[in-house]
Amino acid sequence: MSDLTKSWLTQDFFHNPHPYFAELRAEAPLYWSDKLNMWITTNHALTLDALRDHTRFSNSGRMEAEIATLPLEERQVLTKLAEDLGVGLIHSDPPDHTRMRRIVGKTFTPRVIEALRERTAGLADGLIDKMLEHKEFDFIEAFAFPLPVLVISDLFGVPREDAERIKVWSEAITDLGSRRLPLYELGINALKATAELKEYFLVILEARRIEPREDLITLLLQAEDGGDQLSRSELIGMAILILVAGHETTTSLLSNGLLLLMQNPEQMKQVQADPSLLPGAIEEMLRMEPSFPRTPRRIKEDMEFGGCQLRKDQMLSAMNAAANRDPEVFPEPDQFNIRRSPNKHLAFGHGVHHCLGAPLARLEASLAFSTLLRRLPNLRLADDDICYKPDFSTRRLERLNVKIS
């Protein structure tokens, strides 16, 4: 039987993966891909089941399982990467995950959220002031990338001029799941970036121990639950997670979301006329083009699932981007609808591993889009050159050329 994913990871696939997801969902909603060496879920029901069943589908040991497919010499080199990145909140299961999430949750206080609100609004206005000096520009370079990086930098209390270094480190780490190069090559790049990021944060952590500040690093250092605090490796892992995920996902949400609005100008006008529609519009952006199209899990035991026999330590990708367009759950799934209700999308995952930063991402997107739509009501696509990065794990535009008409 021909591999139903043989055409995946092509340029056509990266440009628009949704027809490929729909084809697989119709043929085999749970499918073993020889090409990708993993199980894939593409309907909403099975994806939801896999995401909420942390007892059988694990976050722990995912990197080790991926590396285990490599030749011995390459595995030995990348073992350090698994030790560095394969720890912390998103690489653990309860009870360790529950403990860390409870401690970290104490840092996102109302005061932190309110400071984020003021910071984001001010930064958005400043970036738009610069955008108004031009008639045409790349929206990602001018706004979608710098805004979340600057917000995260301020939140951490790190110099804004480090933004370019942060971008390089973050892309090397997020590229690890992209499949754009052999895993070993991606792993070497991620290993170097992780080592540099660890060194970067160790210096900051030690400085904050001596001289605490009003920033997230200090809050993470001081956070405790019943006397329990994060270890040093957990602190570093959490800092890297928040830094990388906190800006990469928002950059994608802002650029993908603005593209959807500009491709649906009547609905864009409706949101501009009635800002109360914006929260629903953001949820629909998340459904249509989630920043992370898939959520990897390691299979913990031999089992029967979805009518198939799964084996221990195989990998499964819960394709939330495919689940978000399941016609059994979402009528007219390929239509952008800012009034869609209910909207049970899986852009932020589900269950115990539901994204801790989801409220922050929604807040940042809400402030960014409300400012953009108010100050740049005539923002339009400058051309039809829509190009997505060849990345299996993130949905990222290469650029988004826009103009002020």
pLDDT the model gives residue 370: 96
* Mean pLDDT value across residues 213-228: 86
Helix extents (H) in 10-145: 11-15, 18-27, 44-52, 62-67, 72-85, 96-105, 110-131, 139
| Number of Cβ atoms within 10 Å of the Cβ of 12 | 11
Question: pLDDT tens, 275-327?
Answer: 999 999 999 999 999 999 999 999 999 999 999 999 999 999 999 999 999 99
Assess contact for 402 and 382: CB atoms under 8 A.
yes
Whole-angstrom CA distances from 238 to 119, 250, 284, 308 are 22, 18, 29, 36
User: Mean pLDDT across the stretch 222-230?
Assistant: 83
The DSSP code sequence of 239-266 is HHHHHHHHHHHHHHHHHHHHHHHHHSHH
Q: Report whether pLDDT(248) > 90.
A: no
* Mean pLDDT along residues 121-139: 95
Share of the chain above pLDDT 90, in %: 65
**Cα distance between residue 294 and residue 40, in whole Å:** 9
Please tell me the predicted confidence (pLDDT) of residue 1: 56
pLDDT tens, position by position, 144-175: 999 998 888 888 888 888 888 888 898 898 88
Q: What is the DSSP-derived secondary structure letter of residue 395?
A: -
Give the separation between CA 357 and CA 365, rounded to whole angstroms: 12
| Whole-prediction pTM | 0.94
Nearest 5°: the CA angle 151, 154, 155 is: 80
Handedness of CA 239, 244, 245, 250 (dihedral sign): positive
Which residue in 293, 279, 299, 278 sits closest to 348, CA to CA? 293
Q: Which CATH superfamily is domain 70-293+327-404 in?
A: Cytochrome P450 (1.10.630.10)
Average pLDDT over residues 4-14: 95
For residue 362, count CB atoms less than 10 angstroms from its CB and return exposed for 0-12, middle for 13-18, buried for 19 or more. middle
Average pLDDT, the chain: 92
Distance in angstroms (rounded) separating the CA atoms of residues 57 and 353: 11
CA 308, 38, 98 angle in degrees (round to 5)? 90
Tokens of 380: 């339009």
Separation between Cα atoms, residue 366 and residue 206, nearest integer Å: 35
Q: CA 116 to CA 171: how far, in whole Å?
A: 24
Contacts of 262 (CB under 8 A, 6+ apart): 268, 379, 380, 381, 402
Cβ(397)–Cβ(251) below 8 Å: no
Instruction: Count the Cβ atoms, other than its own, within 10 Å of residue 6.
Output: 11
Question: E-assigned strands of 202-331?
Answer: 295-299, 303-305, 308-310, 315-318
Peptide bond into 95 cis (omega under 30): yes
Average pLDDT over residues 343-369: 93
pLDDT tens across 21-78, in order? 999 999 999 999 999 999 999 999 999 999 999 999 999 988 888 888 889 888 888 8
Q: Where are the domains of the chain?
A: 70-293+327-404
Structure tokens belonging to residue 222: 């001081």
Those residues with Cβ within 8 angstroms of residue 97's Cβ, 6 or more apart along the chain or in another chain: 54, 59, 89, 352, 353
C-beta of residue 90 within 8 angstroms of C-beta of residue 177? no
The 10 Å Cβ neighbour count of residue 76 is 11
Name beta bridge partners: 303.
310
Tell me which long-range contacts 8-15 makes (C-beta under 8 A, separation of at least 24): 8/33, 8/35, 8/36, 8/392, 9/35, 9/36, 9/179, 9/390, 9/392, 11/390, 14/388, 14/389, 14/390, 14/391, 15/386, 15/387, 15/388
186 pLDDT exceeds 70?
Answer: yes
